[in-house]
């Protein structure tokens, strides 16, 4: 039995040069040539916000700390370990562009929280707003032969008018955690042609055995795109499409004898993309992959590949020992996926965090379904509307080619839109983002506002804790009267299951937060839902009772258990923070692996 693990583990040894997280950061679209910029950078905190006026971007620093990228300053792995963060921080390092690279060079950043400005040799090359989506800037115009200096300024705030997820802000709930400042995903360089392939998307029709495939480019181009689907080294379907001056193409490919992607058989087809630019004669080639699967809702039933789907999900906050928001190794991401599957779950609801694409890659490879959720703000404002909508669109475009993602969740429990029933503009915001999500991607279900106050979306999802009462009878009463209240753990009032005039008839019903039982004895700062189980035996008994209640309600098409691991003061994980299980994995699998069939 592991003791409760603190996130502040010993700092990694920085005396040995190394490149952390050296794997290619964007596995859904891979190029052969690239250069990792992970590792030591110079780092400065700017408490008086004078770096711009004092031109910290111009010249080499002599009075800076060292930080290990891609870990935020709050983490032990960064070498800083400052839980309070800082409002403005700066990064700097030198790079040498490989001599073989000619033409465009892009600087890519997996994620940096929140407002990032990048300078190359004292010239500003771009800005990005948002703490979760990937971004990149063309920097070739600022590069010189030999050594080049890259400087980044990152500004973050404690305001809840920006999407923050569970990062503690001006008001800290018992379920909030220490924040994240600055760069927290991989940084890299890659050479590109003048127009490049930037992302892909697709949907699959099981009945027709057709793959509808899209490719998106860095700008409009007159050329031709080759799309080849490969299995076992053999091209099984292909097409060539004229771009006709557009920045995207689509094609439909027939896949004979398809192997469908599923939990039992997560088969992935390779996809080779080649863009011929007629104006320059350049060819851009990238490798991707596709999992052939169809998510649908028909007559009130959720389906995967035409088969009824019972969701056995776990809430996953996505925090890691030493790295905090960032896993210290790619193997740690894979291990989280493997543990989730081993405990009997078929889905992870990534909660209030847009996860590292490498996690999605392992979910794709190993057959774990994922609900992708937008981190929330908590104060409705024009700033929140603009920031959330813009970044959510960026995340959808980044991740919509991952077959593991079966659901998009733009809002959680009315966070940031607390007054939808009285303020039409808040309800309009939720409905608009839900519709926008479906316009960008029609191959998944969309849950507009997960937990309560349903207004629009493909599923009706509910959150109910407090296992000491009869969960099944409470759910049955709510299903019978959707406009009755669901107890809110936080906030000044209870919430209704569905807003006035919202029609939930014919929607699949899922319990997407439940459980949340801690074990042991409370310290002053600890939190779990309901009373703690005092022993492993008591924990197991209470888990089994809740799951028996859940399975007895045949109207439910799935559940999401809170939560995968302990995180700081929240001690209701199935695993301790160091990933040691509180009960044997085989026992947890026996509790959670059964669907709605028993």
Which residues belong to CATH 2.60.120.260 in the chain?
35-192
pLDDT(256) > 60:
yes
Residues 198-214: b if buried by 16+ CB within 10 A, e if exposed: bbbbbbbebeeebbbbb
For 447-493, how does the pLDDT look when each residue is reduced to its tens digit (9 = 90+)? 999 999 999 999 999 999 866 567 778 888 888 899 988 876 655 57
531 confidence band (pLDDT: 50, 70, 90): confident
Q: What is the predicted pLDDT for the residue at 474?
A: 80
- The class (CATH top level) of 303-592 is alpha beta
For residue 223, what are its two tokens? 């050329």
Per-residue pLDDT, 489: 61
For position 434, what pLDDT does the model report? 98
More confident residue, 524 or 414: 414
For range 326-335, the mean pLDDT: 98
Lowest mean pLDDT segment, chosen from 223-237, 266-280, 488-502, 539-553: 488-502
Cα torsion angle, 322, 326, 329, 331, sign: positive
| Percent share of the chain, pLDDT over 70 | 95
Residue 360 and residue 141: Cα distance in Å, rounded? 34
542 prior amide bond cis, ω within 30: no
Distance CA 228, CA 239 (A): 7
Kindly state the percentage of the chain with pLDDT values over 90.
87
Q: Residues near 224 by Cβ (< 8 Å), separated by ≥ 6? A: 240, 241, 242, 243, 275, 276, 278
Tokens for 70, please give them.
Answer: 């891609």
**Greater pLDDT, 138 or 553:** 138
- How far is CA 462 from each of CA 109, 409, 512, 559, rounded to the nearest angstrom? 36, 13, 6, 9
Does 1 have pLDDT greater than 80? Answer: no
- Average pLDDT of every residue of the chain: 93
**Position 418 pLDDT exceeds 60:** yes
Q: How far apart are CA 132 and CA 373, in angstroms?
A: 11
Domain with CATH 2.60.40.10 in the chain: 207-290
Comparing CA positions, the residue from 333, 322, 396, 323 lying closest to residue 130 is 396
pLDDT tens digits, one per residue of 294-314: 999 999 999 999 999 999 999
Domain covering 35-192, topology: Jelly Rolls (2.60.120)
Among 17-26, 34-43, 520-529, 546-555, the range scoring the smallest mean pLDDT is 520-529
The residues of the chain that CATH labels 3.20.20.80 are: 303-592
- pLDDT band for position 2 (cuts 50, 70, 90): very low
How large is the average pLDDT for residues 275-291?
98
Is residue 480 helix, strand or coil?
A: helix
pLDDT for the residue 364: 98
What predicted TM-score, i.e. pTM, was given to this entire model? 0.95
CATH topology of domain 207-290: Immunoglobulin-like (2.60.40)
């Amino acid at each position: 039995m592991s003791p409760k693990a603190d996130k502040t583990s010993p700092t990694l040894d920085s005396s040995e040069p190394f490149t952390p997280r050296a794997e290619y950061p964007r596995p859904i679209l891979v190029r052969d040539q690239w250069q990792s910029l992970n590792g030591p950078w110079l780092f400065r905190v700017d408490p008086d916000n004078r770096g711009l006026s004092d031109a910290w971007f111009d010249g080499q620093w002599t009075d800076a700390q060292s930080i290990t990228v891609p870990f935020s300053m709050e983490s032990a792995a960064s070498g800083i370990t400052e839980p309070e963060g800082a409002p403005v921080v700066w990064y700097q390092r030198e790079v040498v562009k490989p001599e073989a690279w000619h033409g465009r060079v892009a600087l890519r950043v997996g994620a940096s929280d929140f407002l990032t400005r990048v300078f190359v040799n004292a010239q500003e090359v771009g800005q990005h707003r948002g703490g979760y989506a990937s971004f990149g800037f063309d920097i070739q115009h600022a590069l010189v032969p030999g050594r080049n200096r890259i400087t980044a300024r990152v500004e973050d705030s404690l305001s809840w008018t920006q999407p923050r997820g569970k990062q503690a802000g001006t008001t800290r709930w018992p379920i909030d955690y220490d924040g994240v400042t600055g760069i927290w995903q991989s940084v890299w360089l890659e050479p590109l042609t003048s127009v490049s392939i930037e992302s892909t998307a697709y949907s699959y029709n099981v009945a027709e055995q057709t793959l509808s495939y899209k490719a998106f480019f860095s700008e409009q181009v007159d050329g031709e795109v080759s799309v080849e689907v490969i299995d076992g080294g053999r091209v099984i379907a292909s097409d060539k499409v004229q771009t006709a001056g557009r920045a995207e193409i689509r094609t439909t490919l027939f896949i004979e004898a398809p192997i469908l992607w599923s939990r039992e058989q997560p088969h992935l087809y390779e996809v080779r993309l080649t863009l011929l630019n007629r104006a320059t004669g350049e060819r851009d080639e990238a490798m991707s992959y596709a999992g052939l699967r169809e998510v649908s809702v028909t007559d009130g039933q959720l389906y995967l590949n035409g088969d009824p789907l019972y969701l056995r999900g776990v809430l996953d906050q996505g925090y890691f020992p030493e790295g905090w928001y960032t896993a210290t190794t790619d193997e740690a991401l894979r291990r989280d996926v493997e543990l989730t599957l081993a405990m009997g779950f078929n889905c992870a609801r990534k909660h209030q965090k847009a996860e590292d694409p490498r996690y999605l890659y392992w979910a794709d490879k190993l057959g774990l379904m994922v609900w992708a959720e937008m981190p929330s703000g908590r104060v409705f404002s024009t700033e929140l509307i603009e920031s959330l909508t813009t970044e959510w669109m960026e995340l959808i475009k980044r991740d919509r080619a991952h077959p593991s993602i079966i659901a998009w969740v733009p809002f959680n429990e009315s966070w940031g839109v607390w007054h939808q029933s009285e303020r039409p503009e808040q309800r309009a915001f939720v409905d608009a983002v839900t519709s926008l999500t479906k316009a960008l991607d029609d191959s998944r279900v969309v849950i507009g506002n997960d937990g309560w106050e349903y207004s629009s979306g493909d599923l009706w999802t509910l959150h109910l804790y407090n296992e000491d009462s009869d969960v099944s009878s409470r759910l049955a009463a709510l299903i019978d009267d959707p406009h009755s209240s669901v107890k809110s753990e936080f906030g000044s009032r209870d919430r209704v299951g569905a807003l006035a005039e919202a029609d939930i008839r014919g929607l699949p019903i899922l319990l997407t937060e439940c459980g949340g039982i801690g074990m042991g004895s409370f310290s002053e700062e600890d939190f779990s839902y309901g009373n703690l189980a005092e022993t492993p035996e008591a924990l197991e008994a209470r888990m089994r009772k809740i799951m028996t209640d859940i399975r007895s309600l045949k109207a439910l098409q799935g559940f999401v258990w809170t939560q995968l691991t302990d995180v700081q003061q929240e001690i209701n994980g199935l695993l301790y923070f160091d990933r040691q299980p509180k009960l044997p994995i085989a026992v947890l699998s026996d509790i959670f692996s059964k669907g709605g069939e028993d």
